[in-house]
Amino acid sequence: MTGHAAGPHTAAEHADSRWRRAVDAVDERMGLTALAYEVPEHANNLAWSLGALTAISFLLLLVTGIYIAQWYDPMPEVANQSVRTIMTQAPLGALARGLHYWAAQAMYVLALLHMLRVFLHGSFKRPREGNWLVGAVMLLLTFLAVFTGTVLKWDQEGFEALSHNLDVAELVGGAGIWFTAELAPQVPIVVRLYAGHAVIIPGLILSLFVVHALLVKRHKISEHPDIPGSSAEEPAPFTEHLKRAGAYGLVLLGILAALSVLVPPVVGSTPVAGVETTRPLWLFWWFFPFEEWFGISSVGVVMAVVFGVLFLVPFLDRGRRRSWRERKVAVGVLGVIVLFMLVISIYVWINNARGH
C-alpha cells in the first residue's frame, strides 16, 4: 500500500518539476522575473490595486476590440449599420460590444480612482513625479479613446460629438488639425478616428503602461502615510499581488458581463446634420453645457483648465507631507474641482441641456 500511495505523489512532484523547468526555460530567455518586485502588505488591498484593475480593463478592451473589429466598417455610409450587424449577427457580438462599452467606462473610472488614491496618499511626490505625469497622459488618452469610440458608432450621438469636437479643433488652429477634415480631405474623418481609436491610442497607452510599470519597479510601492513604520512591513512576492489583483479582476469581469446583458449599449439612428437631439455619454457631462452658456470656446477652456491642473499637481504640491489630512489646501482645491464637475453633471442629468 505504501508503494501505491507514493505513486501519485511522485507523479505530482514530477509534473510540478516539469512545470518549473518550463517556466525557468522561458524566464532564462525572456527575463520575466526581472519585472517582479516585492509588494508591501498595505498595497494588497482593493484601493492599492486600482491601477491593476485599470490595466485589466484595458486588456479586456483590447480583446473585445480585436473581436468586434472583424465586423466593423468605418466608412461613414455603412459604419452605423456595421455596428448593428455586430449586435445582431456576429457570434457573441452583442456580448463583446457590451463588454467593450462598459470596460471603456470602467477603465476611465478606475483610472480616476487610482489617481485619486495616489493623490490622497501623496504617492506622486519625489521621486515619483514623473510617473504621475505618465499616468496623467494615460488618463487623457483614455478620455480620447472613449470619445473616439462614441463617434465610431456614427449615430446621432456620435455625429454631434464629432461636430462639437471639430468646432473646438478649429478654435485652436494647427494644434487641432488632426481632428479636422483638412488634414487629409480624401480620407473620411471617421476612418482616421478609427485608426486613432484602434491603433494609435491603444499603442500609446500600452507603451506608457510599460514605462509606468518600470517606474513602479524602480521606485517601489510608496509607503502608506497613515501607517507608522509601513516601510518595515513584511513584503509579499509580486506573484501574490498578481493573484489578489486577478481575483479582483474576475469580480470586475462578472460585473461588466452582467451590465452587458442587463444594460446593453444602444445604437442610435443614422445621423442627420443640422440638428441637436442627444445628450452625450455621462463622462462628458461636466463640460457639455458650457457651449450653450458661453460659446464653444468655453468648452476648450474648461477642459484645458481641468487637465492642466491635473498635470501640474506634482509641481504645485511639493511639500514633504503626504497624508491628505496634512495637505488641507491641496485637498480643498481637489474638492472644489470635484464638486464643480459633479454639480455640472447633475445639472445636465436633470435638465438634459442640449447643444447651442
Which residues does residue 39 pair with via DSSP β-bridges, in sequence order? Answer: 236
Q: Evaluate whether residue 65 is within a structural domain.
A: yes
Q: Evaluate whether residue 162 is within a structural domain.
A: yes
Q: What is the pLDDT of residues 18-46, one digit of tens each?
A: 877 887 788 778 776 776 777 888 888 89
Q: What is the pLDDT of residues 244-286, one digit of tens each?
A: 899 999 999 999 999 999 999 999 888 888 777 788 899 999 9
How many Å apart are CA 181 and CA 349, to the nearest integer?
Answer: 32
Q: Evaluate whether residue 93 is within a structural domain.
A: yes
pLDDT of residue 21: 82
Phi, psi for 39 (deg, rounded to 5): -115, 125
pLDDT band per the 50, 70, 90 thresholds, residue 92: very high
How many Å apart are CA 29 and CA 34, to the nearest integer?
Answer: 12
pLDDT above 70: percentage of residues in the chain: 92
Q: What is the pLDDT of residues 145-178, one digit of tens each?
A: 999 999 999 999 999 888 888 887 777 776 678 7
Phi, psi for 222 (deg, rounded to 5): -70, 155
Q: What is the CATH number of the domain that holds 83?
A: 1.20.810.10
Q: Do 285 and 349 meet the contact criterion of CB atoms below 8 Å apart?
A: yes
Q: Evaluate whether residue 318 is within a structural domain.
A: no
Q: Evaluate whether residue 118 is within a structural domain.
A: yes
Question: CB-hemisphere CA count at 13 Å for 335?
Answer: 7
In terms of residue numbers, what domain contains 141?
A: 38-279
Q: Evaluate whether residue 348 is within a structural domain.
A: no
Q: What is the pLDDT of residues 59-80, one digit of tens each?
A: 999 999 999 999 999 999 999 9
Check whether 11 has a pLDDT greater than 50: yes
pLDDT of residue 354: 53
pLDDT band per the 50, 70, 90 thresholds, residue 106: very high
Query: Mean of the per-residue pLDDT values for the chain?
Result: 88
pLDDT of residue 356: 41
Q: Evaluate whether residue 174 is within a structural domain.
A: yes
How many Å apart are CA 311 and CA 303, to the nearest integer?
Answer: 12
pLDDT of residue 181: 76
Q: What is the domain count for the chain?
A: 1
pLDDT band per the 50, 70, 90 thresholds, residue 15: low
User: From the CB of residue 215, how many other CB atoms can be counted at a distance below 10 Å?
Assistant: 16
pLDDT band per the 50, 70, 90 thresholds, residue 292: confident
pLDDT of residue 1: 47
Average pLDDT over residues 230-238: 71
pLDDT of residue 75: 95
Q: Evaluate whether residue 335 is within a structural domain.
A: no
| Predicted TM-score (pTM) of this structure | 0.88
Q: What is the pLDDT of residues 130-150, one digit of tens each?
A: 999 999 999 999 999 999 999
> Of residues 213 and 36, which shows the higher confidence score?
213
Closest CA to 169 of 157, 156, 159, 183: 183
